[in-house]
A and B are shown apart, each in its own frame.
Chain A
């Protein structure tokens, strides 16, 4: 592939920001969104006058409750942004698909500095109505109330399988079966997240967690226990994607988007996907490495989605950071993936301990570490090459970042 064809490389991450983050803040979700956006703009050394593009995932959605705190138009209007390009949407390569879209927009000259954001208030929304069950159609309200399932949900709601916890658990179970993966191995994703969260003042859960604590936790959907599932929360994360030639003199060294991975090479489905021991991320991982001279061994840090713990293991394999089927032994004992290990993983605590900021938290953390701004949780030598990946099932995307 001609280097000139890899146009995401004309883009970089120039700033990141977050709103207040909490389990249940009961704040106006648009206000949280704007707080996060303004923080990122400021962090990049820009003003709202400089922002000429906007990109978000998933765009405005009323259900599930709290899943989307604001759409592109909401933010564009509130900040009076003048945009050469804007987009939002759910059907893309994971939450970071919206960042990839922004890279392509700046590379093509449609915009110079794109504000990308992801905003959630699932903590408050579920807290008001009585837990996660409240967001399920027909759930929490006593009976179905005449509700009938249609479209995609007709294939799982009648079987009382409304949650991605169950769907991903079945992928994990298949991986256990094919490769001998164990819960003692899986636990290290959660334990590693928690020990990192202890050092992150913005994390939701910061109390130490032991293997015994993990094993004693109640089961949700085997092989997942409570600590394998991320924590609904409130908060907004924003990142600025800039054209590299316009970012040279900004506040932070540009983090070049060296390559992206967004391919989906099986059926775009959860249960009809051909190989249940992997997910759409296998295509995204392959595509990413086809677009760069860098190799997996060059990666000094990995921030890998953990909506459910096993997804991080799946990303390790999909991105070639360990062999296929070898993520269990790779993470066992937690030495390799610890903050000062050979491949630090989820140094902020992931969504398991730092809250379900839904994909963007990993990019925020990756950039923070690469800029050496991690405070108490900083990786001893700020990584020059890092990988960030988000999504699971049929919606997966990854970015390889290089600090200039």
Chain B
């Protein structure tokens, strides 16, 4: 995994950290993409919720996944809705390979726009945002296995 170059870090609205989402948004400090996982049935749970939707177990922990994903869909965004990455940028929905029902809306980066295609293989890369409330590592995805 590679870091996005610090000098190119765009403005981002950052998430408000809670006990439920902290591992997801800070796992990138250790290059880890982490999700809550049911310790009884193995189901990955996203977005976070207090029990497993399959067996209602509350025996949950966050675990790192491989960071590999496939591109389920994307849109090349040209509209300046808000301060953010340089236009145009690619918004993507990716499915993690461990459990494709877990999707993330994210950005596809380090990929020429005309080379983006559904079902392409991706890997996570983290964008570091120092913040007084706790540094945030935003999980973005780039082409790769």
Contact = CB atoms under 8 A, between A and B. Distances in A.
Task: Report whether chain A binds chain B.
Answer: yes
Interface stretch (A3-11, A47-55, A89-97, A151-159): A151-159
A162 B74 contact: no
A177 B79 contact: no
B73 A177 contact: yes
Contact of A144 (B11, B75, B89): B11
Contacts of A149: 13-16
Nearest to B87: A160
Contacts of B83: 138-139, 142-144
B93 to A, nearest CB: 5
B105 A156 contact: yes
B97 interface: no
A300 to B, nearest CB: 34
A159 B91 contact: yes
Interface stretch (A30-38, A165-173, A256-264, A357-365): A165-173
Interface string A69-92: 000000000000000000000000
Given A170-B73, A170-B74, A272-B101, A148 B85 contact: no
Given A137-B13, A154-B15, A154-B21, A163 B76 contact: no
A139 B80 CA distance: 9
Given A139-B81, A162-B82, A170 B91 contact: yes
Interface string B63-90: 0000000001111111111111100110
B51 to A, nearest CB: 15
B73 to A, nearest CB: 4
A298 to B, nearest CB: 34
B47 A155 contact: yes
B118 A174 contact: yes
Nearest to B75: A169
Interface string A114-142: 00000000000000000011001111101
Interface stretch (A196-204, A215-223, A345-353): A215-223
A160 B76 contact: no
A148 B107 contact: no
Nearest to A168: B75
A169 B83 CA distance: 20
Given A156-B105, A170-B75, A221-B76, A148 B11 contact: no
Given A144-B13, A148-B133, A165 B79 contact: yes
B122 interface: no
A147 B13 contact: yes
Given A144-B14, A150-B18, A155-B105, A139 B82 contact: yes
A133 B105 contact: no
Interface string B98-132: 00010111110000000000100000000000000
A271 interface: yes
A335 to B, nearest CB: 29
B89 A166 contact: no
A159 B140 CA distance: 8
Interface in A349-401: none
Given A154-B16, A158-B14, A223-B75, 5 more contacts: A150-B18, A158-B13, A158-B15, A160-B77, A173-B74
15 contacts: A133-B81, A138-B13, A147-B13, A149-B16, A158-B14, A160-B82, A161-B91, A162-B81, A166-B75, A170-B93, A218-B78, A223-B75, A271-B103, A272-B46, A276-B72
Q: Lowest 5 CB-CB distances: which A-B pairs, in order?
A: A160-B84, A148-B16, A139-B82, A169-B75, A154-B15
